[in-house]
Structure 1
Amino acid sequence: MSDFRTAVLFGAVVTSGLGAGLFYAYACSVMPGLARSDDRSFVEAMREINVAILNGWFMLSFLGPLALIVLAAALEPRGGGRAALVWLAAAAAFQLAVLVITGVANVPLNNRLAAAGSAESATDLAAVRSAFESAWVRWNLIRALASTASFACVSWALFLSARTPIPDH
């Protein structure tokens, strides 16, 4: 396997693993922890998290996997590497699902949470939280599963690529 192709595949594994780990951490610790808080604390914490997460490190683990998976597929030899290509295609499909879920479900929920007034009454905060929490948690769980599936597929593709000799030209 060429060094560049190996590095790209390894980068795809690492970035997809980081993304899967992030969504997993929300599913098993962040959201259950916030679920124990009062409405004001929950809403304020999620608003702050949604602002803080928009940074380069997050974008690397959010947008990087799909770009690197597609590049890895383009670099994969067309001879004996067909098995790896199938797994890379599956990884790309799962990663695309993560982007779509985030764009059509989680981000709109985040935006509605941010748009709700900051000086809400306790009743308003309860309504804001109620409209946000269960839907956001459900969609996050789905994207955690999709990103974990992507991570597994790209990891298997790396394994297969390492075992497949590069065909002679």
Structure 2
Amino acid sequence: MTQTTALGVAATMGATLTTAMVAGLLFSFAHSVMPGLGTLDDHDILTAFHRIDAAISNPWMMATFLGSPVLTLAALLLNLPDRSQALPWLVAALVLTAATVVVTGAIHLPLNAAIDDAAPAFLDADLRSRFQDRWVRWNVLRTVTSTGALTALSWALFVSGRSAG
């Protein structure tokens, strides 16, 4: 195994790990956190979401969330010289991780900021209705894109191992 190939596999493993953590987080929000919060009254759901958003905004989460596309791009670039069989899967993973980041920036961060701006009183009676359904719907899409990226990265590792053996 060449040094470039070893670095490509290492980058793909890192991309797979960070993408798995992101996919798991988004899956958990889609299937437990938001349904659980949805049972609360308007003020309580906004307060709870505001506190979760404050807790999740930390360097470890940022490194993981942004590490996924960065490591996927690195894996793609490191696999280019060998014309690896993993290339199409790495391209698919990069597109899907980029989609996850774009949806987060375009949809979720502005919605989260609206909650932050209204805290702690949450006097806007329509805030929950403007926030909750849209946030949940687009989070399902992020769950699909990040899970698809994880699948593509896993397959990239599989075909890389198969071609090396």
Provide the TM-score with structure 2 as the length reference.
0.91
Aligned to 2:66: 63
Change (3 A) 1:115 1:77: closer
In the alignment, the residues of structure 2 paired with residue 112 and residue 77 of structure 1 have an alpha-carbon distance, to the nearest angstrom, of: 42
Identity %: 40
In the alignment, the residues of structure 2 paired with residue 118 and residue 86 of structure 1 have an alpha-carbon distance, to the nearest angstrom, of: 47
Q: Is the contact made by 1:23 and 1:144 (CA closer than 8 Å) also made in structure 2?
A: yes
In the alignment, the residues of structure 2 paired with residue 127 and residue 15 of structure 1 have an alpha-carbon distance, to the nearest angstrom, of: 36
In the alignment, the residues of structure 2 paired with residue 97 and residue 15 of structure 1 have an alpha-carbon distance, to the nearest angstrom, of: 15
Provide the TM-score with structure 1 as the length reference.
0.89
Aligned to 2:151: 152
In the alignment, the residues of structure 2 paired with residue 56 and residue 105 of structure 1 have an alpha-carbon distance, to the nearest angstrom, of: 21
In the alignment, the residues of structure 2 paired with residue 117 and residue 96 of structure 1 have an alpha-carbon distance, to the nearest angstrom, of: 30
Q: Is the contact made by 1:80 and 1:165 (CA closer than 8 Å) also made in structure 2?
A: no
Aligned to 1:130: 129
- Note if 1:9 corresponds to 2:12: yes
Which consecutive residues of structure 1, in runs of 5 or more, have no partner in the other structure?
none
Following TM superposition, the consecutive aligned residue runs of length 4 or more in structure 1 with deviations greater than 2 angstroms are: 1-6, 77-80, 117-121
In the alignment, the residues of structure 2 paired with residue 54 and residue 105 of structure 1 have an alpha-carbon distance, to the nearest angstrom, of: 16
- Note if 1:46 corresponds to 2:49: yes
Aligned to 2:90: 88
Change (3 A) 1:99 1:77: closer
- Note if 1:24 corresponds to 2:27: yes
Aligned to 1:163: 162
Which consecutive residues of structure 2, in runs of 5 or more, have no partner in the other structure?
none
